[in-house]
Structure 1
Amino acid sequence: MKRTLCTMKTKLIILLLLTSTLTAGAQMYFGTKKEVPDSVFNALAQTPPMGWNSWNKFGCNVSEQLIKEMADAMIATGMKDAGYEYLVIDDCWQVGRDEEGNIQIDPKRFPNGMKALADYVHAKGLKMGIYSCAGSETCQGRPGSRGYQFQDARTYATWGIDYLKYDWCSNEGQKAEAAYRTMSDALKACGRPIVFSICEWGENEPWKWGKGIGHLWRITPDIRDCYQCVFDWGGVGVLDIIDKMADLYPYAGPGHWNDAEMLEVGNGGMTRDEYITHFSMWCMLAAPLMSGNDLRNMDKETIEILTNKEVIAINQDKKGEQARRFMDMGEKEIWAKPLDDGELAVCFMNRTENSWKLDYDWKKQTIYFADEVNIHRKEYKIRDLWQHKDIGTTERNTRHEIPAHGVLMVRLTPIK
């Protein structure tokens, strides 16, 4: 009996020592920072994130100097003043792992390291984003985060990262929800609030499970710089994305957004009217606004589109609703988005190759949102958000010539 008690005590002491060792190890690994509680994590991205991403324009050609120049340009061009804040380095910044498994930065392209670069970005009043992948490799064959999620998240926190785009290449048959939840848990454990961008291309319907795991989720393959186009090797045009977004409005709201992909405005593949449609609809759809062009060399037209504060205000409205396709007349559509304080954004979208001579009688159509907006009961002032002027009220018809592939985007404010 005494021998049994002695054995039990010995086992208990060993167990306590082992537990103490594991706890000490965890503290060494995560540091002394507390976990990010769900309440703090879920409070991030209360409006769609706005910023810039390197991929569309620069692909793998990223560097410390490029990011610094983009940070400077974001301020000089008025982008920061318009609400853009994240600078996201996409794929190709990483080259391997050291003997302890720590992710290694390309020393030639980022000679001073990510912490110094993040400090530079933060000193400008901006935020820093980075890219990784749920698979063993990224889409460009660099080391992914599979098996290193908690280690990588802690590293990002020590660098001062504010945003993580997490791709889906080389996923090796993982279950998407479980894979993204693991990284989400790692980000919550790292001690720093980091916006989490789920980028699995809509393959596993992330809008159904992404809330609480991430703050935004891609709903299509990569965007291409075209209004409507077909690729046999992947990629979608602006209209394809809009059509995919149309039925997903129930899943969008503060802290959880359907991601319509990065913006192509300014990259040269579309006309001015097509870029205005692209930007207008991303704002109507409450999509994240991540520009993907060279901010250092924007012409006046591109700056005017990307910094249109009246249009951006529709995207950033705190009510956080995604627009709905109120009327589909084939190639002519009317989209409506309820706003805070009983206002309404309406976008008339012309998908045809010809101009649309609009003559719209507001009283014949009922745009109605749960008693918040009712054009039959109230009169609304109509403001053209691209001409920056009032163009009448809902008491009389709105007449406007909408160009091919163009839009008329207006804000309705009740007249008291």
Structure 2
Amino acid sequence: MKKLLSYLFTLGLSITAMAQGDNYVQDYTKYQGLALTPPMGWNSWNKFACNVDENMIKQMADAMVSNGMKAAGYTYINIDDCWHGDRDAKGFIHPDATRFPSGMKALADYVHSKGLKLGIYSDAGSQTCGGRPGSRGYEFQDALTYAEWGIDYLKYDWCNTEGLKAEGAYKTITAALKKAGRPLVLSICEWGTDKPWEWGQNVGHLWRTTGDIYNCFDCIKDHGTWKAWGVMQILDKQEGLRQYAGPGHWNDPDMLEVGNGALTPGEDRAHFTLWAMIAAPLIAGNDLRSMSKETTEVLTNKEVIAISQDKLGIQGFKVSGEDGLEIWAKPLDKGDWAIVFLNRGTLSKKINFEWAKQKVYDDINKLDAAFATTNYTIKNVWDKKDKGASTTKKAFVADVPAHDVVALRLTKKK
């Protein structure tokens, strides 16, 4: 009898311990049903770096509505680094009171009143890249704070992370966000160092695949201990990653430099088009309040945005490349295809593309354009004069200017 009572007592303790243990099991999976197409929005870093304040953010929200970007599909107004003030005695973070005197909740309410969403920035380390308070050790407090403020998007950086392992650190912030209870998009920003495409699908909604973008078309900026990459260099680094992208989980080659002045109008077109082709997030990084007509036309080109936002969520791929002229393809919904001719060279190139002789096949998704047996109508998505009357029955002839693109949408002819 004593043995039986002892056994039942031990069993009871074990059950109690197991039950208590269950209470502390964390949910390391992201919020589902978000970012089913690549996120579209704006971020402060590329143009303004640490020079952020609430008036400027409000003005960007106003501009996104008035300049047609919201109507074109842009949603997020994202504040990058340097919004932070100090932590209080209990460890809760507060915004810089000089720059954000009304507080983040009031700013989020303002952005939401415009039909937009507010994003914010933090870091997995002890300090952000700009030297502000990071989230290490405060993940659950910060997640609760963001939820109370009404934040919709979190970019989570990777500076000052001595001794941390990326997968574990990002799972911690994901668990914190789930515990806080407000669904938001998590942008993993650890620069591709620890191959986030291999583990990030259930942790975040997008992950950086490279170091920072640099505002040039084809160059490398050497900072000594690290390098920033031009548009073409970052494009090349996406090779081999397309199988990891899809609805709710995207490769992120960093934000757009469209409209920031260093790129020509043709380079802006090429940059925007290729980001759309590779299903990259379309996060503008320019001053939305003072855009030129040319920049506005690039960022609000609905035909190109439709390629980006196609519901299949397939990342495009390079078909061929020779003498600086590359051909890119992206399968689209209902059997459509996007085809882009990219001229990386410094001289204009003439193309004479005989469709029936070209093999365009997506070996990951097993989709074949089958140009030899299928006729498509052709729409040039950058040429306003194009009437869409041509088909793939005839060779496509065009000039591709230097550092520019010719981009086509093909629709099966009925």
Aligned partner of 2:403 among 371, 380, 405:
405
Residue 379 of structure 2: aligned partner: 383
With the length of structure 1 as denominator, give the TM-score of the two structures. 0.91
CA contact (8 A) 2:214 2:221 kept: no
1:331 CA displacement: 1.2
> Any conservation in 2 of the 1:48–1:289 contact (CA below 8 Å)?
yes
Task: Give me the whole-angstrom Cα distance separating, in 2, the residues matched to 1:298 and 1:183.
Answer: 36
Match in the other structure for 1:247: 240
RMSD: 2.2
Q: Does 1:297 align with 2:293?
A: no
Query: In structure 2, which of residues 79, 92, 98 is the aligned counterpart of residue 108 of structure 1?
Result: 98
- Kindly provide the CA deviation profile for residues 26-52 of structure 1, in whole angstroms up to 9, marking residues without a partner as x: 9xxxxxxxx9995x8121100000000
Tell me the equivalent position of 2:309: 316
The residue number in structure 2 matching 1:128 is 118
Question: Which residues of 2 match residues 56-95 of structure 1 at below 5 A?
Answer: 56-95=46-85
**Would you say the 8 A contact 1:263–1:291 is kept in 2?**
yes
Name the CA distance, whole Å, in 1 between partners of 2:255 and 2:102. 28
Secondary structure at 1:81 match in 2: helix
The one-letter code of the counterpart of 2:58 is K
- Percent of pairs with identical residues: 56
1:207-226 pair list within 5 angstroms = 207-226=197-216
Is residue 370 of structure 2 the alignment partner of residue 374 of structure 1?
Answer: yes
Q: Give the aligned residue type for 1:336.
A: A
Task: Give the count of matched residue pairs.
Answer: 395
Q: Distance in 2 between matches of 1:318 and 1:160?
A: 27
Q: Does the 8 Å contact 1:36/1:191 carry over to 2?
A: no
Q: Secondary structure at the match of 2:140?
A: helix
- State how far apart, in whole Å, the 2-side matches of 1:90 and 1:110 are: 14
8 Å Cα contact 1:253/1:321 also seen in 2? yes
Q: Paired residue for 1:264?
A: 257
> Is it true that 1:238 corresponds to 2:231 in the alignment?
yes
**Which has the larger displacement, 365-374 or 251-260?**
365-374
Q: Distance in 2 between matches of 1:80 and 1:103?
A: 30
1:415 paired to 2:396 = no
Inter-partner Cα distance in structure 2 for 1:415 and 1:211: 36
**Aligned-partner residue type, residue 121 of structure 1:** V
The CA deviation string for residues 152-191 of structure 1, in whole angstroms up to 9 with x for no partner, is 0111001000000000000112111111111111111110
Query: Equivalent residue of 2:155, what SS?
Result: strand
Give per-residue Cα distances to partners, 1:76-121, cap 9 Å, x unaligned: 0000000001000000011221100000210011011000000000
How far 1:368 moved relative to its partner?
Answer: 2.9
Instruction: Provide the C-alpha distance between the structure 2 equivalents of 1:135 and 1:250, rounded to a whole number of angstroms.
Output: 30
**Aligned to 1:396, which of 379, 394, 397?**
394
Which stretch has the larger CA shift, 368-377 or 143-152? Answer: 368-377
The aligned counterpart of 1:160 is 150
Q: Which runs of 5+ in 1 are unaligned?
A: 27-34
Q: Does 1:179 align with 2:169?
A: yes
Secondary structure of the 1:235 match is strand
State whether residues 342 and 372 of structure 1, in contact with CA within 8 Å, keep that contact through their aligned partners in structure 2.
Answer: no
Query: How far apart are 1:371 and its partner, in Å?
Result: 4.8
Aligned equivalent of 1:170, options 149, 160, 169: 160
Runs of 4+ in 1 over 6 A off after TM superposition: none
Shift of 1:373: 2.7
Q: Secondary structure of 1:42's match? A: coil
User: Contact 2:127/2:160 (CA < 8 Å) preserved in 1?
Assistant: yes
Counterpart CA distance in 1 for 2:380 and 2:33 is 33
CA contact (8 A) 1:257 1:287 kept: yes
Q: CA deviation at 1:246?
A: 2.6
Counterpart residue type for residue 413 of structure 1: T
- For structure 2, list consecutive stretches of 5 or more residues without a partner in the other structure: none
Deviations 1:321-365 (A, max 9, x none): 001111121411100000010000011101111001111111111
Return the alpha-carbon distance in structure 1 between the equivalents of residues 367 and 252 of structure 2. Answer: 29
How far apart are the structure 1 equivalents of 2:265 and 2:317? 24
Counterparts of 1:216 and 1:229, CA distance in 2: 25
Question: Which string of whole-angstrom CA distances, capped at 9 and with x for unpartnered residues, describes residues 286-306 of structure 1?
Answer: 000000000000010000000
Distance, in Å, in 2 between the alignment partners of 1:102 and 1:398 is: 60
**Cα distance, 1:372 vs. partner?**
5.1
